[in-house]
Amino acid sequence: LDEWVCKSVFSYAAGLAMIRRTAEADVVRLRRYEIPIKRVARNLCLDPALIAAIISQESRVGLLLNNGWDQQQQKYGLMQIGGQRQYPYAVWDSEEHINQGSTNLVLSINEVRARHPTWTWDQQLR
């Protein structure tokens, strides 16, 4: 168990460092979406940094996409919305798409909050 815990902690720290480096590299591309991200965040009472972090992690701010789709053609857009629908939600890098992905995020967080009301905000967000 101790070995597993040590590996888990190491992986977590290494993962955070990698995420930080990725985000720093994506900042230039994220600037293009700064205004739409801030508008959506304000309307949904989210931290714009959370939306930007998801966009960075999911699609590298579009760098990993082909016409808005991931390599398996199953997720779409900056926030990589799953293919639950037959047609894409909106133009893959539009404010509307950022709003749709962020709305999905809020709905998911609210589901977790309803199921686990005693958890801290950090736990619910994870």
Whole-model pTM? 0.80
Euclidean distance between CA atoms 89 and 111, whole angstroms: 22
Which of 58, 95, 96, 111 is an active site residue? 58
Element of type H or E holding 54: helix 48-59
Residue 23, both tokens: 């985000």
CATH of the domain at 86: 1.10.530.10
Question: What pLDDT is recorded for position 88?
Answer: 59
Evaluate whether residue 20 is within a structural domain.
yes
- 3-state SS track over 70-117: CCCCCEECCCCEECCCCCCCCCCCCHHHHHHHHHHHHHHHHHHHHHCC
Model confidence at 101: pLDDT above 90 = yes
Model confidence at 107: pLDDT above 70 = yes
How many folded domains does the chain comprise? 1
Question: What pLDDT is recorded for position 1?
Answer: 38
Evaluate whether residue 113 is within a structural domain.
yes
Question: What pLDDT is recorded for position 11?
Answer: 57
Q: Read off the amino acid at residue 29.
A: R
Question: What pLDDT is recorded for position 3?
Answer: 45
Angle, CA 90 vertex, CA 92 and CA 48 arms, to 5°: 65
For residue 79, the enclosing domain spans 12-125
Per residue in 70-99, pLDDT tens? 999 999 999 998 866 556 568 999 999 999
95 has catalytic annotation: no
Per residue in 3-44, pLDDT tens? 444 444 445 666 778 777 887 889 999 999 999 999 999 999
